[in-house]
A and B are shown apart, each in its own frame.
Chain A
Amino acid sequence: MSSAVQALSDGWVVAQRNLVKIKRVPDILVFVLISPIMFVLLFAYVFGGAIDVPGDVDYKEFLVPGIFAQTVVFGATFTGYGLADDMQKGIIDRFRSLPMSRSAVLVGRTTSDVVYNVISLVIMALTGLLVGWRIREGLFDALLGFLLLLVFAYAISWIMAYVGLLVPSVEVVNNASFIVIMPLTFVSNAFVPQEQFSGVLKTFVEWNPVSTVALACRERFGNIDPKIAVPDSWAMQNPEVYTLLWVVAIVAVFAPLSVRQYRLSTSK
């Protein structure tokens, strides 16, 4: 068996193991989902009135794809959380003593977190439909939008995997990822249209991949007024290509880094 095939097949065994946990401890999922649902309600009914959306689109329609982007980025912390948890427990010594691929634990974790994200996207979409979000383009376009979200989430998972291996405990993962994730999701067009930012912040928003994911989804779902002017940044004009470039770059950097870190902590 070639090493890549082995990494995938061993990774799948580990992923199945991770997924059993969702089945046995469903409370985890409940807590993961409560916060994005809260965000939908907060922004739709509390802050929404104060935020102006350009063109002829309801704020709730604008908001929901943004919340999708935020949800999958937050969901990625689960990768770090799960790995840090494994590293603290005896099970990791079992894995290390088995003739399995050295990257399988990481491949398995990032893969099972895709399933997590699918579940949370389904719940978020249902919540969105309840508050008035609609898919206005074709179903195929909508599926492409969701696919982009999942691919982007997968890349962020690898960053979080690295964080999870670096830090000594589960508690630290939470705090460490919070510092990165909060500015990344809030200084984007997820909640507030980019037109309302100015100066350096505006530039950051326009080149923030969270913005481009949200924008790409709005376009795919038809939650944006096609008549409004396209922002003057290459990233915003080509949100899908730009997002995918980030995905490739992140995985290319963080997958090898994480595998290396896993081996290092193995041979401490």
Chain B
Amino acid sequence: MGDMIRASGLVKRYKDVEALAGLDLTVPEGKVLALLGPNGAGKTTAVKCLTTLIKPDAGTAEIAGVDVLKEPALVRSKMGLSGQYAAVDEHLTGYENLVMIGRLYHLGKARSQQRARELLERFDLTEAADRPSKGYSGGMRRRLDLAGALVAEPPVLVLDEPTTGLDVRSRQGMWEVIRELVSSGATLLLTTQYLEEADKLADDIVVIDHGQAIAQGTADELKARTGGERIEVVLADVEDREAATRVLAEVSDGEVKVSDNGRELTAAVRGTATGELLRVLQGFERETVTVLDVGLRRPTLDDVFLALTGHAAESDENESDEKEMAK
């Protein structure tokens, strides 16, 4: 079993910005790798380099054993790409879109038509098959786009932020579809901004920031590095802040974060989350701290980022940059 996707030392510069600063990746056959990072981290640039859409300034990459730089045409026949902005023709129907893609993969007319019908059925688009895709919902367009990536049953799939911008229900639908793909043995590279998504779908996660991999591991490993689950407390009275911080510090292995208004406190817990939560509540009772809300939550991408880089994900600031660069 070899590696189906391999990249080493990928560098891509746009004027003064280094979108990729020496990125390394490997995805073994049949595995799912999630490339996790905020907007502007270089995820889309990495995808474009791997899928022959842009040429990296330095570094090498292979898809299914084929050199991306030397034989881009052959690489294109071995992978399917589903992008961030659903790449479907809005005037064509769902069926016509898929048949066109099949014919451009050189499957022949009959086979293309057959694949189109199979995929529409599988992605629950049969009813909408003969309507122009212009009228599809966001979730339907993404499913159609993903179906497009699967037309030629390529051994490698690259999905660039498949659920960004989808509502919760469509997102869960996409997750189901992707999980099914994985169980059928495809090798998959997936980019996402959501730890939860990486967690649900990937075998392995690479966290990327400023064009470089800053951490790699399973979701559990990454979460362990960020200090596991969080206890969040909202105080009824700001005066209780110090007492509450003391109680939280007993169960936490890191700092207790206090919000700007001084009423919301967050601490990463060391031991079993529920046990520690009980201890915290007992502590509050003892110290007569009144709270409006207490809860446990899992680490978010922001927590992972904060722990790994010491800075927050700054997603909003960089968003426009990457879009600009992706052009």
Give the B-binding residues of A (Cβ under 8 A).
1, 10, 13-14, 16-17, 20-21, 24-25, 89-100, 104, 266-268
Chain A residues within 8 Å of B104, by CB: 10, 13-14, 95, 98-100, 104
Would A97 and B76 count as touching, CB distance under 8 A?
Answer: yes
A94 to B327, CA, bound (A): 14
The listed residue (B79, B87, B96) touching A20 by CB distance below 8 A is: B96
B312: interface (CB < 8 Å) = no
Q: Which residue of B lies closest to A268 (CB)?
A: B54
Q: Known contacts being A90-B86, A90-B88, A91-B89, is A97 close to B52, with CB within 8 Å?
A: yes
Q: Known contacts being A90-B86, A99-B106, is A21 close to B91, with CB within 8 Å?
A: yes
- If over half of A's interface residues share one DSSP class (helix, strand or loop), that class is named, otherwise mixed; here it is helix
The listed residue (B53, B77, B89, B101) touching A266 by CB distance below 8 A is: B53
Would B81 and A93 count as touching, CB distance under 8 A?
Answer: yes
Q: Mark B52-67, 1 if CB is under 8 A from A, else 0.
A: 1111000000000000
Would B87 and A91 count as touching, CB distance under 8 A?
Answer: yes
B226: interface (CB < 8 Å) = no
17 chain-A/chain-B pairs, Cβ below 8 angstroms? A17-B100, A20-B91, A24-B91, A91-B88, A92-B87, A93-B83, A94-B83, A94-B87, A96-B53, A97-B52, A97-B81, A98-B101, A99-B76, A104-B104, A266-B53, A267-B53, A267-B55
The listed residue (A24, A93, A99) touching B105 by CB distance below 8 A is: A99
Q: How far is the CB of B308 from chain A (nearest CB, A)?
A: 31
Give the A-binding residues of B (Cβ under 8 A).
51-55, 73-74, 76-77, 79-81, 83, 85-89, 91-92, 96, 100-101, 103-106, 132, 145, 148, 327
List 13 additional A-B contacts (Cβ < 8 Å) besides A24-B132, A99-B76: A16-B100, A17-B96, A25-B91, A90-B85, A90-B87, A91-B88, A93-B83, A94-B81, A94-B145, A97-B51, A98-B101, A99-B105, A268-B327
Q: Which residue of B lies closest to A95 (CB)?
A: B104
Chain B residues within 8 Å of A100, by CB: 104-106
| Interchain residue pairs A-B with the least CB separation, the first 7 | A94-B87, A90-B87, A99-B77, A99-B76, A90-B85, A97-B81, A100-B104
Q: How far is the CB of A141 from chain B (nearest CB, A)?
A: 38
The listed residue (A92, A94, A267) touching B148 by CB distance below 8 A is: A94
Chain A residues within 8 Å of B145, by CB: 94
Q: How far is the CB of A238 from chain B (nearest CB, A)?
A: 42
Q: Which residue of B lies closest to A87 (CB)?
A: B327
Would B53 and A93 count as touching, CB distance under 8 A?
Answer: yes
Name the residue in A89, A91, A99 with the highest tally of chain B Cβ atoms < 10 Å from its Cβ. A99
Q: Which residue of A lies closest to B93 (CB)?
A: A20
Q: How far is the CB of B105 from chain A (nearest CB, A)?
A: 6
Q: Known contacts being A93-B83, A100-B104, is A17 close to B89, with CB within 8 Å?
A: yes
A90 to B53, CA, bound (A): 12
A100 to B327, CA, bound (A): 21
A16 to B99, CA, bound (A): 11
Chain B residues within 8 Å of A266, by CB: 53-54
Name the residue in B83, B87, B132, B327 with the highest tally of chain A Cβ atoms < 10 Å from its Cβ. B87
Chain B residues within 8 Å of A24, by CB: 91, 132
A180 to B80, CA, bound (A): 41
Would B83 and A267 count as touching, CB distance under 8 A?
Answer: no
Q: Which residue of B lies closest to A6 (CB)?
A: B106
Q: How far is the CB of B50 from chain A (nearest CB, A)?
A: 10
Q: Known contacts being A17-B92, A17-B100, A268-B327, is A97 close to B105, with CB within 8 Å?
A: no
